[in-house]
Chain A
Amino acid sequence: MIDVKLQKKLKAAGGDLFLDVEFKIRNGELVTLYGKSGAGKTSIFRMIAGLLNPDKGRIDVDEVVWLDTEKKINLPPQRRKIGFVFQEYALFPNMTVLENLKFALGKGRDDLFIKDLIDIVDLGDLQYRKPDTLSGGQKQRVALARALVQKPEILMLDEPLSALDYEIRNKLQVYILQVHKEFNLTTILISHDISEIIKMSDFLIELDHGKIIRQGIPAEVLTNHKISGKFQFVGEILNINRQDFIFIITVLIGKEIIKVVADEDEGKKLSIGDKVLIASKAFNPIIHKIN
């Protein structure tokens, strides 16, 4: 259990921001911080990692106090067991992929684990290359592997996939979920992408202007009501077409375009570009084998 309570006055782009948050994260969960840029997500990350000091606050991780401003306890980042994936990857340009991982491991420690990691994220062919010669998706895989070298209990990913295109993003989501489960990690993610959040996270914390405005199960928080559907996908509305008393809504889900029927009341609330959740409740899905 990670117990976080933080207060800090921040200087943000749009003026001063008073960050004041309190939340708990259960072990083994994948939790997403969501909110507009400038809401304080990255600052919370940096404070949990020990890279930024709050004005007031307390962080307990499994009963161990990492930070307590009242008792003047503040573990340096070096002593907090965290794997951190930075938004801009932060790979060391002077080292090859393999050297980046070995540096994270430290001297005299068993490097068999590094070989496993390289296999897990498919870096075998790239291990002797320098980061400058890699594509965005490859860099991100290196950053992910490097964050896991020290076998952290907590993995923090600051918008890890925002700069990548759709297909690579999908692949990396799978990698992240895989390591999250395989290494039994507690993972905290910052993300803007609603489909990514619903697909990946167990719990969602939504921030605005330094305060938590909503938290809960992602699909429920983002759609504002409980859905018990077995099938759900997130998509973006491409077109709305009115036909008599109904609306035909064209939605892009992943790379597929589908049409959904909405009644008049629902249709009027929607506009092109909205993110929507498509769920199916009562019907039995039909399965066709694809050859």
Chain B
Amino acid sequence: MDWTPLILTFKLAFITTIILLFISIPVAYWLAYSKSRIKPVMETLVSMPLVLPPTVLGFYMLIAFSPSNAFGSFLDKWLGLRLVFSFDGLILASVIYSLPFMVHPIQSGFSNLSSSLKDAAYVMGKSKITTLFRILLPNIRPSLLTGIILAFAHTIGEFGVVLMIGGNISGKTKVASIAIYDEVESLNYDAANTYSLILFFITFAILLFVYAVNGGFIKKFWQ
């Protein structure tokens, strides 16, 4: 039994989630409070990965980052970044692909929060940053948790975009979902079943944890 695909999967999901957290809070904040005219365009772009076939995203990233193209060769030459068939490329693809799963819960958390909380803090002389960290974020903790878990779980489950841009390189880009496909291709059903079962139960456990925490069941249990 080869554990590397599973380890790679969780490493990818973990790094992706951390990066997404830093990106999604400002994006969600802007989407929740901005009255800008380009907001619908931004909302569409953020939500695109929800409906776009992952292969489309993967295909264009493969083209864009290929060292035989201008942009890809620029990254390769000047920043030493090779984004096709590499783990770095997987991270970038996952960040884009899981973005709506993190942004949407946080955005709706901000929107559902009574705007008078923000106003009250401003009238008290608090800056926007202080208000964000001391008032807004602590009061949307369930939304933050939902966003983090959904992005994490979604990254574990991605297949198409990873296959397109990462390929199937053992120890580098061969994550669990690809390994399952690979094992089935070579009629190795037992190994495929093991990977599948592990993913099934981990995903179940993660989602159960979110619903239990957000539904207040954990708190009730401890009290």
Contacts and interface: CB of A to CB of B under 8 A. Distances in A.
Contacts of B124: 78, 103-104, 106, 149-150
Query: Would you call the interface of chain B mostly helix, strand, loop, or mixed?
Result: helix
B125 A150 contact: yes
Interface string B118-141: 011111111100000011001100
Interface stretch (A10-18, A81-89, A228-236): A81-89
B70 interface: no
B122 A51 contact: yes
B123 A94 contact: no
B92 interface: no
A93 interface: yes
Nearest to B119: A51
A49 interface: yes
B112 interface: no
Contacts of B121: 92, 103
Contacts, number: 56
B80 to A, nearest CB: 44
A76 interface: yes
Given A94-B135, A94-B139, A103-B134, A86 B116 contact: yes
Interface residues on B, range: 10 to 19
Contact of B127 (A46, A78, A80, A92): A78
Interface residues of A, number: 24
Contacts of A90: 114, 116-117, 119-120
A92 B119 contact: no
Interface string A57-96: 0000000000000000000111110111011101011100
A11 to B, nearest CB: 13
B120 A86 contact: yes
Contacts of B127: 78
Interface in B66-124: 114, 116-117, 119-124
Interface in A94-153: 94, 103-104, 106, 149-150
A217 B126 CA distance: 37
Nearest to A77: B122
Contacts of B139: 92-94
A90 B136 CA distance: 12
B132 to A, nearest CB: 13
Ranked nearest first, the 7 interchain pairs of A and B with the lowest CB-CB distance are A90-B116, A90-B120, A94-B138, A77-B122, A84-B123, A86-B116, A78-B125
